[in-house]
Amino acid sequence: GDDDFVSLDGHAEILAEHVGSDVDFVADTYGDEALSAIDDLSGGEALLLENARMCDEELPEEEPEAKAETAFVRTLAPEFDAYVNDAYSAAHRSHASLVGFPVVMDAYAGRVMQTEYEANSAIAGREFDGDVTMVVGGTKATDVIDVMNNLGDTVDTFCLGGIAGELFLRADGYPVGSDVGDMELFDEQWERNRDTIESLLAEHGDAIRLATDLAYEADDGGRAEDLVSGIDEKTKPYLDVGTMTVEDYQGIVRDSEAVFVKGALGMFEDERFKKGTVGVLEAIAETDCFSVVGGGDTSRAVELYGMSEEDFSHVSIAGGAYIRALTGEPLVGIEVLEAAAERMEREA
């Protein structure tokens, strides 16, 4: 494993606080120290092994059958009756701890895994009769544009902001788009996604809602806004959608049966430019709809501005797995659990 993978010693203490009983820790994964600690366990006791990322056999991406043959899996599997995977956020990775064990032993999905999977399935399978809306933002435009491309026939309205929104505005003829912070260069994202954006606008233009005004930092340091229709040259970076756009998007989500959020509409970490992200999230929280908030940035906005996870049907922390599922890519961590379930049913 890499040097920057952390030990789980501190995690054992946190886990003990949550479960209300001691959780022992051993700084070993499948060596003699780990096996001895496992053998010493009594009924009702819990043991946390060292981070699997520190095992050399954990990380290389290989087929599940190959991972099942690693010493890591072959050594630990006989020590346990069942395997539970509750790491949906890593379900797209073919690592030994995620895909090796379900090949050789009874395997189950944990509650977080189940909730995340059901939320993703609800989106991709459109399990709703009313309007379905997706709020699309963030700085990694390629990911969300791929999602839009896959869900174009499933989602009724896409409300765009962030870098993705500016890319679509550029395709619509407006000279917007600047490099902000440590994001991938705007022009590079434009060239990579241009064909897909133009295709989406041609095929699903009526479903794609773009900002009509944008916010920027004024000379006095405050927030100012421009009408998109009046932008005729690129002179400044825009850091949020404008007030009219926020009100438009709020009206759309309030009339929706299901709303999914992927990415922030602006630089919400700055109080001046939180209006888009926070305003739309608050409207969703107040609406009686099925709502999924996905992505680390958006989840952070929920916490930062006084909202609660309970205000939404689900707040996802899955990141890459969330995106891959929405783009239609299979998740190997799910596939091996499904295969294990079928095997267990045959053997029952």
Is residue 79's pLDDT more than 70? Answer: yes
Cα separation, 172 vs 201, in Å, equals 9
Cα separation, 245 vs 227, in Å, equals 10
Q: Where are the beta strands (DSSP E) in 27-74?
A: 46-49
Give me the mean pLDDT over the 81-87 stretch.
97
Residues in binding site for ATP? 269, 295-298
Is residue 125's pLDDT more than 60? Answer: yes
Q: Which of 120-124, 144-148, 310-314 has the lowest mean pLDDT?
A: 120-124
With 0-12 / 13-18 / 19 or more C-beta atoms within 10 angstroms meaning exposed / middle / buried, residue 212 is middle
The yes-or-no answer to whether 57-109+318-348 and 126-317 have a common fold is yes
Cα separation, 284 vs 248, in Å, equals 13
pLDDT in tens, 299-323: 899 999 999 999 999 998 777 788 8
Cα separation, 56 vs 52, in Å, equals 9
Q: What is the CATH number of domain 57-109+318-348?
A: 3.40.50.1260
**Domain boundaries in the chain?**
1-54, 57-109+318-348, 126-317
Give me the mean pLDDT over the 250-279 stretch.
97
Is residue 180's pLDDT more than 80? Answer: no
Residues in binding site? 269, 295-298
CATH of 126-317 given 3.40.50.1260, 2.40.37.10, 3.30.390.50, 3.30.300.30 = 3.40.50.1260
